[in-house]
Amino acid sequence: MKNIVIGMMLLIVSFSTQAQEKKNKNAKYDVEVNGSCEMCKKRIEKAAFSVSGVKSAEWHIDDHILHLIINEQKCSILDIKKAVAEVGHDTDEVKATQEQFDKLHDCCMYERN
């Protein structure tokens, strides 16, 4: 009987640890971010790095993709999208307000959908 109780307890513990979501310390993401020039690149990357847990952020002008490596234990991809939108750049999920967009330099104005 004692062995059955111990076995049941081990089974419950193993199921509960499997149910917990593992957070990756080097998760890679690609996020679409609208922009048009080198000034945009600097602004977008600076906004991404302002979020604690971002290890690498590189935005490419040609394809408008922000390549990220983040520690998921410290931040989420949504946190980064919000930070980028706050400086005036739309992402695939979070859009900048019109007021934030209007603060961009003339050369940084991109076509919004």
pLDDT for 6: 64
- Say what the pLDDT of residue 1 is: 67
Given a contact cutoff of 8 angstroms between Cβ atoms, the answer to whether 60 and 40 are in contact is no
CATH hierarchy code of domain 23-108: 3.30.70.100
pLDDT number for residue 87 = 98
Instruction: Give me the pLDDT at residue 88, please.
Output: 97
Q: How far apart are CA 65 and CA 93, in angstroms?
A: 13
55: amino acid identity, one letter: K
pLDDT of residue 19: 46
pLDDT one-digit tens code per residue, 84-99? 999 999 999 999 999 9
Query: Could you give the CA distance from residue 75 to residue 43 in angstroms, rounded to a whole number?
Result: 19
Q: Give residue 67's pLDDT.
A: 98
Give the pLDDT score at 113: 76
- pLDDT < 50: residue spans in the chain: 19
Q: Output the pTM of the full model.
A: 0.79
